[in-house]
Chains A and B, each alone.
Chain A
């Protein structure tokens, strides 16, 4: 039996079509099953920050950098000190992200306070929208994460973040950011920053937990998110935030 070139091509074509149908079928059905007791659908994480309790000790920034091996000179969370003189633009400083705390302020005659900053875990995040490869995303439990193996290091997201919460990791050359200690909160622990905050100025909250104190907090306090006009649906709520804070 001899096969003509035409027959060969037709056969090859049929085979390819079959193979690709098979492959795409596998893609549709091959979803990984859930692995353990933590159910993402039952959580919606965020944070509440009571500015009036922050003492500027920098424990959060230190704890974060040690928990997450943040390279030196970069910050996933940091503390800012605002000094506001009436009628003037505010003076804001954050020496080394408050890793070593703050030198005592010299100014007694101005309004001054500390503001801790971190990724606002936006539900409608600009950083996620600009990522060209699906390397950054909002997890089903509401945490904005980066897939290191997919990140190209193009830095679109770094530019897109209105809060300056992302950086390019100098060794990995992929983007890095606060994960809300995803490796901790999914095990029932709180974040490293909240664990080490001495005054409870920052607290991890779960909006889907009806018993979480966040519901009381939101009902009884005047709260604000940073840059609400960016419409990012930020989930880090600040209590008694001064209008000067950006």
Chain B
């Protein structure tokens, strides 16, 4: 009885209060529906983004992978000046090949451009780096007709 009278007397306050509460409730429901569960776990962002970025595919298999199968080339290279040049620095991304070597046989690098990009003489290169004016140096012959790419010493 008391409650009922209270409600009747203060109805003009209770009704807007209920509407306000309902609106706030609705806001919270919608908010929790659209914001991913873990949002804010590490900071003001969606932690799921980390997993999504991590799941992107790889194109460069990495040095160690190549060496595991291509023992011969690895040995030759390790003995020469190209020892610290990674396989894929010259051969390009070969993760697909490493996954299935016979289905994805890689093309051999195009020697003319390959060597020149690293070894063309240029004043901006560090002075200690071996560089040649390729046109005069090779006289039109392919670099690998004299140098062996994996161990460039003659």
Residues of A within 8 A of B (CB): 6, 9-10, 12-13, 16-17, 19-20, 23-24, 26-27, 30-32, 35, 40, 52-59, 63, 66-68, 81-83, 100-102, 104-105, 107-108, 110, 112-114, 134-140, 145-150, 179, 182-184, 186-187, 189-190, 192, 195-200
Contact = CB atoms under 8 A, between A and B. Distances in A.
B118 A198 contact: yes
A147 B45 contact: yes
A210 B88 CA distance: 29
Contact of B62 (A26, A108, A195): A195
B41 A31 contact: yes
A195 B63 contact: yes
A63 to B, nearest CB: 6
Contacts of A30: 37-38
Contacts of A114: 124-125
Given A20-B29, A189-B58, A195-B86, A147 B124 contact: no
Given A16-B26, A105-B123, 20 more contacts: A9-B18, A10-B18, A13-B21, A20-B25, A24-B28, A27-B35, A27-B37, A35-B51, A40-B42, A63-B60, A66-B93, A67-B59, A67-B93, A104-B122, A104-B133, A108-B123, A112-B123, A137-B43, A187-B58, A192-B93
Contacts of B120: 101, 104
Contacts of B88: 63, 195-196
A139 B47 CA distance: 9
Interface in B36-72: 37-39, 41-60, 62-63
Nearest to A182: B53
Contact of B29 (A16, A67, A145, A189): A16
Contacts, number: 174
Contacts of A26: 32, 37
A198 B92 contact: no
Given A105-B123, A137-B45, A192-B59, A55 B37 contact: no
A21 to B, nearest CB: 8
Nearest to B65: A189
Nearest to B17: A13
- A-B complex: 8 closest residue pairs judged by Cβ atoms: A16-B25, A20-B28, A147-B49, A112-B124, A23-B32, A137-B45, A101-B117, A183-B56
A27 B41 CA distance: 10
Contact of A20 (B24, B55, B57, B124): B24
25 contacts: A9-B18, A16-B22, A20-B29, A24-B28, A27-B32, A30-B37, A32-B38, A55-B118, A56-B122, A58-B117, A63-B89, A66-B92, A104-B122, A112-B124, A139-B50, A147-B46, A148-B52, A150-B45, A183-B57, A184-B58, A195-B89, A198-B89, A198-B118, A199-B84, A200-B84
Contacts of B97: none
A32 B47 CA distance: 9
Nearest to B48: A32
Given A83-B124, A145-B49, A196-B88, A138 B43 contact: yes
